Amino acid sequence: MNSGNSSFFVIYTIDSIASITILCFDIFFSRILIYIIPLCPIITPFFYESSIIAKISLFVPNYMKAMKAVTQIFMSINRMCCVLYPLNYTQKWKYYMKPIIFIITLSPNLVTWNLLISRPYLVQSFGGFAFSYLKKVSWAKLSTFHLTFVTISMFFTFICTTVTLFKLIMLPERIKRTEKTLCIATIIISIGFTAVAINQFMWAFCAQCQTSGLLYSVQFLCYDLVNIGSPIVIILISRDLRRNIFKKQSSISIVRMVTSQF
């Protein structure tokens, strides 16, 4: 798969933007308040005085997390269609890209709508502070919505990957390298989303676990795995990208060796 398959890379770009946004909000807001305790007296007044800042800090990362589950669905379908319909794949996906982008960008509202009408607040966690919210609609749990999206994403990933692998195996000349790469990529993605699903299940159905700050910290690690797994997958899939990355690294190492001799 190369950059000529623009539909995949459009979806992947949206997924990457979501990952970068999540990481930025986690690093500069959530994790600073938890792990760098001396900064809390300086930073927390901004969240107490302005509920808008607190709401943005809670809403945007959760919106992007839901978006990643949706982009994963369409990336899985895209890879499957590339194998099943190689002749008209590019043309068909180009035609449907606008509706797909519309769905990707707006569907996370199904997860985060209650955050928009609820009041955010800060709770103590590991000596610092973490974000939470008072639910305006009591039955609308954020963790349950996230769990639903992640479960659907895992289902599509499994089905599409199974169909894709079956089609590759049935080809007259089996592409074993592609089969192996697709399996590894799917395993990486599945591990990440399984960890997220387990974490969201604990948030949704384990009342005792919700009082533990450890569960909140594990949530960061789960999404770190999902965010890091996506670049690993694209490097595995794209031979041209791998060649460019490792070629650059080898060129840098050669230059360093030459300059060190003088």
Q: List the chain domain ranges.
A: 6-261
Instruction: Give 63-76 pLDDT, tens digit per residue.
Output: 999 999 999 999 88
CATH number of the 6-261 domain? 1.20.1070.10
pLDDT in tens, 121-134: 877 766 667 788 88
Evaluate if residue 111 carries a pLDDT over 50.
Answer: yes
Residue 73: predicted pLDDT: 92
pLDDT surpassing 60 at residue 201: yes
**pLDDT at residue 245, as a whole number:** 61
For 38, 57, 61, the CA distances from 47, given in Å and listed in that order, are: 16, 9, 16
Asked whether 212 and 126 are in contact (CB, 8 A), the reply is no
Percent of the chain with pLDDT over 90: 19
Q: What pLDDT does 34 receive?
A: 74
pLDDT over threshold 50, residue 221 = yes
Task: Report pLDDT digits (tens) over 223-252.
Answer: 888 887 767 776 766 666 667 666 655 544
- The pLDDT of 175-182, averaged and rounded, is 63
What is the value of pTM for the model shown?
0.79
pLDDT > 60? residue 262 = no
Contacts of 1 (CB under 8 A, 6+ apart): 8, 79, 82, 237, 238
Mean pLDDT over residues 9-19, rounded? 89
pLDDT at residue 102 in the model = 96
Distance CA 249, CA 93 (A): 34
Q: Is the pLDDT confidence value at 187 over 50?
A: yes
DSSP string spanning 176-226? HHHHHHHHHHHHHHHHHHHHHHHHHHHHHH-TTGGG-HHHHHHHHHHHHHH
User: Looking at the predicted structure, is the pLDDT value of residue 180 above 60?
Assistant: yes
Q: Using one digit for the tens of pLDDT, what is the confidence trace for 119-172?
A: 888 777 666 677 888 888 988 889 899 999 999 998 998 898 888 888 877 776
Q: Which amino acid is at 25?
A: F
